[in-house]
Every structure is written in structure tokens, then in C-alpha cells.
A and B are shown apart, each in its own frame.
Chain A
Amino acid sequence: MRLSRRGLLRAGLAGTAATALGGLTSGCAVPTGSTGRNMVLWYWDGGLGDTVVKKAKARYDSSVDLQAIKIGGYYRSKLITTLAGRAHIPDIAGLKGEDMASYLPDADQFVDLRTLGADKYESRYLPWKWRQGIADDGRMVGFPIDCGPVAHFYQYEVFRKAGLPYEPADVSKELNTWENFFAAGERLRKRIPGTSLLTDVNSVFENVVQQGAKRYVDKDRHFIGDQEHVRHAWALAVEAKRRGIVSNLVTGTPDQISAVDTGKLPSQLGASWATYDIKNGNPKTKGRWRIADMPVRPSNNGGSFLSITKACREPQQAFEIISWMLDAANQASGYVDAGLFPSTPASYGLRQLREPDPFFGGQVTTDVFGPAAQKIAVAYNSPFDVALGQPIKDEIKNVGVLGKDPDKAWSDAMSKCRRIAKHLGVSH
């Protein structure tokens, strides 16, 4: 009796230890991707419309169990940890637009969607968006979900009181250059003291950079953040500060939210998804807003992709699912569910996108966002743009908020960029 109990204990402990050590040392016990009939899809809250996910699950039920999992927290770091760990990798993975450039150098982690017949869908999607999902070597990693065309949001009554154009068509037409836009800001401040056209200088700087086709690092891994396109954006941001059209508030703080509520900040340059931010953050302003074109030309902010990982056992099946989930009709339903502005121009004429929005005084906002989405420039986004853009954005913020001397700020930004470029192996 005593012996057998000890033997049992011994066997149990040995078994536990073997399992623990086995799990640590040999990867073969852990499946790389999904198993059985499962098809695992990773996305984040609001990354896809609920209706589309539910419909896809039912539609493909005969061949696969589509398991759509919402991953909370810091999505990118969880995805790359899983990919690098080579265990339990999802078959289909959402990729956020702002992270896209940093996934592309590792295109070999994903299935090249062109090999699955993606080319025949290209004409149905926004060309600049389609290009964003393709790596330097031509491999296609991301299939377009949504995009984030930027427009000019403004409060109708405040503009009218300030003697500015106030009908969307007039605002689009008259505030079509940065000069006119800034002049309108000066007039606004003169007519209604204490009012600012924009929250901070960064919205000017970043949108001007985003309007163009160049960012901070080019395809040849060369730093271009010291060139004319960035200097121009910098000069406009400094001018916005000098002419006093920006507030000294920080976006998202109680002070800023209240200033928006009371009409002290009656205007902003926001992407299509910002309509949701305003509705949630400033519910009291319902009906006061209108949307017009941004000065000069539209830019893009955000918008994501779906990809198929190398661990997927049935890429063809996965591709069929994602190309169906992201067709024009389903993108329109994603717009209704989650405010995902479609990357398929055919959606813009559909009923779901033609609804007048009472929050915007009954305006059909697609009339502005739709044409804007089609006018966005094709740009090259480098994986080094984040590291080499941040010092410049930080310094323009110092000019805007701390009143730092613009020349000193620019030279500080450039010397910091040179140092970082050298460290990252980016030429300058």
C-alpha cells in the first residue's frame, strides 16, 4: 500500500515535470496554426463589423468553423509575439493601417495574396489603399478593409455668427487653401473672442504631410524628412501658431472636450472615423456639425487590412472568405456597424451610405468622404517613418504648446533625426 502510493506520486510528478519540460523544450507538441476544421481570425474591437463576421460564419459553416476572435490590448505586439513564437498562429489576421509599413519587410510571414488570385479584385478597390498592402518586392500582404479620408468638421452656427461661409459647399469652395483657412481662423477669433479654429499645430503639420506622396523615409532607406515637403508642412504649422488660430489645449482632455461643446473649438480636421469620436465625446453637440472638404486636397488617416498567415493550412479557402467579407456590399454593412469607411467605391452609392446623419444636421456625409477617399495621393510608407517622424512631431508640438522658438525646434528635430537615422541604418 505504502509503496504503491509512493509509486503513484512518483509517476504523477514525473508526468507533470515531463509535460512542463516538454512544453518548454520541444515545439512539436504545440500546433503552429489552427487544427481540425477551425479557421481562426484575429481582429480587434471595431476592426470588422459584427454583422459581416456573423454572416461569414454562417455562410462558410459547411466547410470550416470560422472562429473570429477579438484581441484586446496592444494588438500588434500580441500578433507579432504569436508569429515569432510560431505557435497558435491565426489563419487570418487583421493588420492595422498605421502598422502596415512595419509588417511589409516581413512579408514572408504571410501568404502572397496575388498567388491566390487577388489581382482580379484590384479594380474594385481604391488604388492608393491597394498599394499600401503590397511589399517592396511586390508581394501582397494586406487585403483592404476600410480607409480614413480626412475632412473639415465645423459647427454651422458658429461659422455663421463669425461671418464665415457656413453651407458645406461654400466652406469647401472658399476655404480651399491653407491661406484662406488661416484667414478664416483669424476672422473667427476677431468676431468671437476666445475661439480657435483648430486644437493644436500638429493637426496642421501632420495633415499637410499626409496630403503629399512622401513621408519621412523613402524606398531606398534614405531620410527625406529634411526636404521641401516636410519643411512646407512645418512652415504652415508655425504660421498657424503665429496667426493665433490654434488653442493651447490637448485633444481628449476635459478642457478640450468642453471647448468643443461650447463652440470655442468649432472646427477640426478629422478622419471619417472621427464622426464616432465626436458623437461619443460631445453628444451635446448633436445637429450642430457639418462636414466640408479639407483645404487643398484630402489626406488619409487610418484604415486597416486582412492578411493570411503562412500558418494557414487552407489559404485558398481563407482568401475566399476575406474577399467575400470585404466586398462592396459587406463593406457597406461594416460602415453601419462599426463606422468603417469602405475602400470599395461601389459602396458609396449604396443605401447604407446615403443615410442623412442627424448629428451632422441631416447631411449625407458620404458626399464629402466618398469623393475625398478617391482623391488621396499614393504614398510610400516606410517602416522607419514612425521612428524618424516622431522627433519632428514632438518638436512642432513644443513650438505649439511650449512656445519654443521654431528655428531652434527645427534644428533640434533635425539633429535628433540624424542621430536616429544613423542608429537605424537609414542614410541622410
Chain B
Amino acid sequence: MATALEKPPVVAERTPTARPRSGMRKYWHLYAAISPFYLLFLAFGLVPVGFSLYLSFHRWDGLGSMEWAGLSQYRYLLSDSDFWSSIGTTLIIWALATFPMIFLAMVTAVMLNSAVRFKNVYRFAYFLPNVTSVVAIAIVFGSVFSTNFGLVNALLQAVGLDQVAWLNTPWGIKVAIATLMTWQWTGYNAIIFLAGLQTVPSELYEAARVDGANPVQTFFRITLPLLRPTLLFVLVVSTVTGLQSFTEAQVLLQNTSNDSTFSGGPGHAGRTMVLYFFQQTFDNNDFGYGAAVAWGIFLVVVIFSIINWRLVRRRGED
């Protein structure tokens, strides 16, 4: 009897008019169940982000009292040639790393897709660089690119070329950092491309084969167009990570303990945006300006993500 009486209100609650008023009350335990993530995000994500915005309108040495600075940090940011040159440095390194990386990842993925034996061994091996500590990689690459004893110079000399002082010349530094990033990310992106490749229906390949298409034609006419969403994803992720590169340059170019470890090598050739942010914040204790630099970096990353997205999407629509 009691259950029969309880039922109608439940039904009434499900009508559209009743839902907005009592939704929170009815589903609160569901919200509570998903709340840990949001609470943690609030405490460790949103609050610090909001605080950094607040900080960028102040002068602060990290310890004493904050002093209101208005827009002066941003005004200085716009006129700071070091910041602009760090954007240039980051973009050059990003381009040097990303385009070869995407090409290699694509080739690797196609090869992995057609591999018959040891498929999982290959996948594991290609993924391994991505989970290796960047610090460890950078130390190894420091040896690989060393002037007198490095592997790279040994190869150059073996084919009769001159030594290059990789970590002592502006272009050498950029190439070394980009190579490190390429090595680290090729395998990861190859796995992503592989997942994309496996969504391409095999009927299309069969049809192409029946029509007499060769493998190159198949790749450019079928595989590539259908991989466009994957390509977009890879490009956006590489842009976001590549524009925030930091550890690579920091460890590769760190100098004696007495020197700044954020200076980015001779001529600041490896001083990326984030490295510059670290130098301003933690070497100079200029936390307010550091926060402004961080927001500058954020804007640059947003702009390039939008450009990437539009480029790839437009090509998709043609």
C-alpha cells in the first residue's frame, strides 16, 4: 500500500516542469559522486590559474607584500624584446621538431599497421621514448651532440664532413633540442596514427586494389584523407606541448652551478618561452612579471591552436 502511494510523485517529478526545480535535490548524490574531481580541479587547477591572473597585475618578490601594478607588467611584456625573441625561438624549435616528427610517425604507423610479426613488441618499443624521463634523455643527448666525442659528429666525420659544435652554436642548439623532441614524440604519435589507420574500413582498400591503385595512390587518396581528424589531433597536441617545451632546453644547456640554468645557452639560442618564464620568476624573483609572461604564453598557444585547427579543417572541407 505504501509503495503504491509513493509512486505517483516520482512520476510527477519526471515531467519537464518539475525537473529544473528539484533536479539538484534529486540528483545531488550523483553530483557528489563526481565532485572529487571538480574539488581537486578547483583547488589545484582553477584557483592557481585565477591567482596567476591576479598576480600578473602586481609586483611581488614571492615573499613580501604585493604591490598593485595595474597593466604595467603587460605593457612591459609587449615591449620586452627578450620575450618576443623567445617566441621566435620556440616556434623555430617547434617547427624543426614537429614536421619531421609527423612525417616519421606517419611512416612508422603505416609500417606498424602492415607488420605481421612481433606487432606488440614494435608498438612497445616505439612508445618507450615517450615514457622515458626527459631529464635522462637530455643527458644522453648532451653526450650524443657533444663536440669531440658525440655520436653525431662521429657520423659526420665518417662521411668526411667537419665537426659541428652543436651545443655552442645558435642553430646547433635548436637542431639538438628539436631532434630530442622528435625522438621522444615520434613513437607516441605513431601509435595515435595507428589507431586512426585501423578505423579505415578495409573494403576501401579492397576496392582500390580491384581498381588497380598502387600503394602510393592508396595512401594519398584513401589513408591520408581519412586520417585527417587524427592528424588534427596530433597537430594540436604537438602544438600545445611543443610551444611549452622547457625541460629539453633546460637540461641540455644547463651550465655550471653558478650560472643561471634558465639562460638557454649562448646567444639565448635555446631560450624557449617557458624557459624565459622560469628565468623571470625563479631567477629574478619577479613573480608578477612571471605571471604576465605565463599569460602571454597562454595566448600564443591559443592562437596557434586555432590556426592549426582552421588549416586542417579547411583542407578537410575542400
Contacts and interface: CB of A to CB of B under 8 A. Distances in A.
Contacts of A234: none
Range class of the A interface residue count: 35 or more
Interface in B24-57: 29, 32, 35, 39, 42-43
A103 B63 contact: yes
Contacts of A24: 42-43
B146 A255 contact: yes
Contacts of A393: 259-260
Contacts of B68: none
Contacts of A249: 147
Contacts of B279: 390
Interface stretch (A156-164, A213-221, A355-363, A395-403): A395-403
A249 B80 CA distance: 31
Contact of B61 (A74, A105, A404): A105
B81 to A, nearest CB: 8
Nearest to B33: A13
Contact of B168 (A17, A77, A102, A250): A250
Contact of B266 (A83, A252, A401): A401
Contacts of B147: 249, 253, 255
Range class of the B interface residue count: 35 or more
A349 B128 CA distance: 56
19 contacts: A20-B43, A76-B282, A80-B62, A80-B63, A83-B63, A84-B63, A98-B258, A248-B168, A250-B255, A252-B256, A253-B146, A254-B142, A254-B149, A254-B150, A301-B258, A386-B284, A401-B168, A402-B170, A402-B267
Nearest to B289: A423
Contacts, number: 98
A255 B148 contact: yes
A69 interface: no
Interface string A399-419: 001101000000000001001
Contacts of A74: 282
Contact of A254 (B42, B143, B268, B289): B143
B263 A254 contact: no
Contact of B283 (A206, A251, A254, A390): A390
A253 B147 CA distance: 9
B286 interface: yes
Interface in A372-400: 383, 386-387, 390, 393-394, 397-398
B146 A254 contact: yes
A302 B150 CA distance: 32
A423 B290 CA distance: 13
Contacts of B39: 17, 20-21
Nearest to A251: B256
B71 to A, nearest CB: 13
A424 interface: yes
B169 interface: yes
Interface string A80-113: 1001100000000000001000110110010000
Nearest to B258: A301
B308 interface: no
B259 A109 contact: no
A250 B147 CA distance: 10
B105 interface: no
A406 to B, nearest CB: 15
Interface in B274-298: 279, 282-286, 289
B61 A106 contact: yes
Nearest to A254: B146
A9 to B, nearest CB: 7
Contact of B258 (A206, A255, A387, A424): A206
A258 B148 contact: yes
* Among A109, A250, A401: residue with most chain B CB under 10 A: A250
Given A255-B146, A387-B283, A387-B286, A106 B267 contact: no
Contacts of B286: 387, 424
A102 B266 contact: no
Contact of A102 (B42, B268, B285): B285
Interface string B69-81: 0000000100110
Contacts of B283: 386-387, 390
B148 to A, nearest CB: 5
Contact of A105 (B32, B64, B143): B64
A383 B285 contact: yes
A383 B61 contact: yes
* Among A20, A248, A419, A423: residue with most chain B CB under 10 A: A423
A252 B255 contact: yes
A17 B43 CA distance: 13
**Top 9 A-B residue pairs of the complex, sorted by shortest distance between their CB atoms:** A387-B284, A106-B63, A401-B266, A251-B256, A254-B146, A80-B62, A106-B64, A255-B148, A13-B32
Nearest to A24: B43
A17 B259 contact: no
Contacts of A394: 263, 268
B95 interface: no
B235 interface: no
Interface string A238-261: 000000000011111111001000
A424 B150 CA distance: 42
Contacts of A397: 266
B110 interface: no
A419 B289 CA distance: 14
A404 B289 CA distance: 30
A41 B23 CA distance: 52
A202 interface: yes
B89 to A, nearest CB: 14
A390 B263 contact: yes
Nearest to B268: A394
B262 to A, nearest CB: 9
A189 to B, nearest CB: 18
A423 B59 CA distance: 10
Nearest to B269: A402
B152 interface: no
Contacts of B289: 423
A258 B149 contact: yes
Contacts of B255: 250-252
A12 to B, nearest CB: 10
Nearest to A101: B285
Given A20-B39, A394-B263, A423-B76, A250 B167 contact: yes
